[in-house]
Every structure is written in structure tokens, then in C-alpha cells.
Amino acid sequence: MIKAVIAGLGNMGRSHALALHNHPDVEVIGLVNRSRVDLPNALAEYPLFETFEEGLALAPDLMVIATYIDTHVDYACAAMDAGAHVFVEKPLAMTVNGAKHVVEKARKTNRKLVIGYILRHHPSWMRLIKEARNLGGPFVFRLNLNQQSTGAEWKTHKALMETTSPIVDCGVHYVDVMCQITDAQPIRVNAMGLRLSDEIAADMYNYGQFQVYFDDGSVGWYEAGWGPMMSETAFFVKDIVSPNGAVSITDGNKGASANVDGHTKVGSILVHRSDGDQTIDMPGEPGHQELCDAEQAFMVDAIRQDADLKRHNQDAITSLAICLAADESIRTGQSINLKDTLV
């Protein structure tokens, strides 16, 4: 049995804990959260600790890190130094060097490192990537995720913006999709952003948009905004265009933009070519908990089968580098060259 500890019991951490609770090859031996938290009955009997160090002292085989981004590097490295494999939520780090340090730590300690890119485990998104690659590049990527958040959702977004911006927190998912489709190296990023609320720090923005250029000629834009002022119109655009046609998500733009389950739903995919269109229905899509189950099953299999995760880890660095370059571009007003960053 793989002994696991889960640190951070917010929305994602709780789901990962439930996934491991239900996995036949895993024994959950402890939970960590810095404050008392209401837990579902399935998790209520596990020992609950306030500090990461207490959880690590249980000597787990697997440490799941679902805490805020500013803790990821220290916690992941400490866990691997203690002999644990690590699953860490995205974004991997607050800096590219921090992400590289974690990946290098995994190599040196021979521990498995998996980053929580949930769309990589979604059959509909996997199909979308396959259909786009079949068209051939270069590509135009048109992707966004704007969330009209109020109440508890806005409170969560404001807490996240104490350490990261929307285009970094959400953007890494969709930039990762771009990179899986093109396989090219990003070379330059331009971005703009705006602070639309007095409820967030003066040096933070809750709306951002960026353009990324790849060395195969592909280009892409991504935008993300959080808050009660955001529009519900065209909040979920997912288009990939090539010289040979386009692939689009057609049914994702349904329901409230703050609905977490709705962010992964595809419904159907429209493949457009000059000789006609094809609609691919994707019925029975997994929900949020089922996707977390799949992520943890992947983590367990990586440990059991000694999987090679080099590409997985490098892709995490690349997608983070693009989003952090966008953040830098917003803050400096300058175009950011990525050629040296990813060496």
C-alpha cells in the first residue's frame, strides 16, 4: 500500500483526498490544513494536522500538496528529500527558477513528480488535442476563461490573488494545451492587464490577456478575468485554427462562469475543414471528482510502474514560463523574450 498525506484541504485538496481515500492501493495516513475545516464523512476520521511538518513526520510514500502557490517549492522539495513522491497542484511555482529547482530535485532524489494539470486526464480535451494535431500547423490558438464570481467564489479568487494572478493560475492549463498541440518552443510574449476592483492589492490585476509566439509560426492568445464585474458573454472561447481548418468546443459556453465543473466540460467538438464540418459528441464526460480520481490514479501508476515523467515535468516548466512572462509583460509594459528563460 502507498501511504499518503494530503496538505491543503480547499476545493482541490479535498477532492484529491477523496480520490486517494477510494483508491484500492492507497492508505491515507493524515491530512494537513492550517485551520479547522469541515470535511465530508469519508475524510472525517483521518488524523488532521495544522502544519506541513507534522504531516511529513508521518513518513508518507506520497505527499499531495494542494496549498497556496508560495509554499509549493519548499514543500515539494522537503517531501522529496524525506523520501516521498509528490503530487503538487498547479502552478508549480511562483518563478521559473523555482519550478526548475523542484524538477531537478525530483531527478536527484529519483522521486516521481506529477503536477495537477487536470485537462491532461480529460478524454474530451485529449480528443480535442488529437483532432487539432491532425489538422497540422502552424496554429492560431484562441482561448479564454473569464469568471463572473460573487460571494464565496469571489472570496476564493481574492485569496488566490494574494499570491498569483488569473492569467497565471488558470492560464497554465490552457497554455499547456497549446504546447501539446504545437510541440514548438515559445519565443515571445506580449500582455496587458487591468485592476478592476479596489478589493484587491494595488499591485494586482484581476483581468489579463496575452499573446504568445512559437518558433513554428504558431500564435495564440489567452485571457482570464475574475470578479463580479466580469461579463458572462463569450467567457468560454476555445478555438484552434490552422491552414487546414479549425477545431472548436461548441457546448462549453453554458451555465455560470463560476461553475468549476463547467470549466472542463466540452459537450461536443466541431471540426471544420474546407470539405465540410464534423461534430463529435462527447457524452458522459467526467465531473470534477472523477477527474481528480484520474489524476491520482495516474500518480499511483507512475510510482508503481516507474514512469518516465521528464516530458510531463518539462511541459509544466514551459507553460508556467509563458504565463509568468505574460505577468511580467503586464507589469513592465514590455514584450518578454523567452529564448533564454527555457534553456
Residues 6+ apart with CB under 8 A from 317: 92, 96, 99, 100, 103, 342
Q: Please give the pLDDT value at position 225.
A: 96
Q: Name the 3-class secondary structure at 116.
A: strand
Report the C-alpha gap between 322 and 339 in whole angstroms.
11
pTM for the structure as a whole: 0.92
Q: Please give the pLDDT value at position 266.
A: 73
Q: Please give the pLDDT value at position 261.
A: 58
Domain 2-116 has CATH 3.30.530.20: no
> Using one digit for the tens of pLDDT, what is the confidence trace for 148-197?
999 999 999 999 999 889 999 999 999 999 999 999 999 999 999 999 99
> Using one digit for the tens of pLDDT, what is the confidence trace for 208-241?
999 999 999 999 999 999 999 999 888 889 999 9
Q: Please give the pLDDT value at position 257.
A: 52
User: Which residue in this structure is represented by grid cell 497540422?
Assistant: 136
Residue boundaries of the structural domains of the chain: 2-116, 121-286+321-337
The chain-wide mean pLDDT, for the chain, equals: 93
> Using one digit for the tens of pLDDT, what is the confidence trace for 69-91?
999 999 999 999 999 999 999 99
Report the C-alpha gap between 162 and 154 in whole angstroms.
13
User: Which residue in this structure is represented by grid cell 499547456?
Assistant: 176
Report the C-alpha gap between 5 and 32 in whole angstroms.
8
* DSSP run (H or E) holding 91: none
Decide which of 3.40.190.80, 3.40.50.1100, 3.30.70.100, 3.30.360.10 is the CATH code for 121-286+321-337: 3.30.360.10
Q: Please give the pLDDT value at position 305.
A: 97
